[in-house]
Amino acid sequence: MIGTLAGIARHHRKRGPIETLDSVRVSVEKGIEGCYRGPLKPGGRNRRQVTVMEAEDWAAALAEIGADLPWWQRRVNLLVAGIDLPQIEGARILIGDDVVLRVTVECDPCVRMDELQDGLQAALRPDWRGGACTRVVAGGDIRIGEKVRIEI
């Protein structure tokens, strides 16, 4: 199955404003270039370097609570469409020709989601709807519209 990279976002500091992009560099050392979560931390687990979410899961969560919010409000880095993200640690997400991300853990929705819309946190909990946290295995440049593939 092949999906599409539908969105790219980053934020330069915790709780900082979100910036959406058409393209970005991804590296093993820094994750999404310019995103505060991406740089590897010495001695850390580094499980949350790049976050990824399915467009269809975001739409389903919003429909469930009757809300209309842009995807980047979820504060994830990448939005993919037309593909089911793996829900297993170690699975790989391949974007374009070069970038490889390894799934580390589920991206649990936090209480901040309910600050956006009552019930959003609960709507994102089932079946990894909140997305997946990943670590960069291979870097490169990515842009909206690139192919996304999964390797289990």
Beta-carbon-side half-sphere exposure of residue 7 (alpha carbons within 13 Å): 23
Contact 120, 71 (CB under 8 A): no
Contact 30, 24 (CB under 8 A): no
pTM of the predicted structure, to 2 decimals: 0.93
Using CA atoms, how far apart are residues 27 and 31, in angstroms rounded to an integer?
A: 5
Domain layout of the chain by residue ranges: 2-140
Architecture of domain 2-140: Beta Barrel (2.40)
Contact 22, 36 (CB under 8 A): no
Q: Which two structure tokens, joined as six digits, stand for 26? A: 């991804």
Q: What is the DSSP string of 65-82?
A: HT----GGGG--SEEEES
Lowest mean pLDDT among 6-15, 43-52, 114-123: 43-52
Provide the pLDDT confidence category of residue 14 given band limits of 50, 70 and 90. confident
Using CA atoms, how far apart are residues 50 and 116, in angstroms rounded to an integer?
A: 22
Per residue in 44-93, pLDDT (tens digit) is: 777 789 999 999 999 999 999 999 999 999 999 999 999 999 999 999 99
Using CA atoms, how far apart are residues 93 and 64, in angstroms rounded to an integer?
A: 27
Using CA atoms, how far apart are residues 133 and 4, in angstroms rounded to an integer?
A: 18
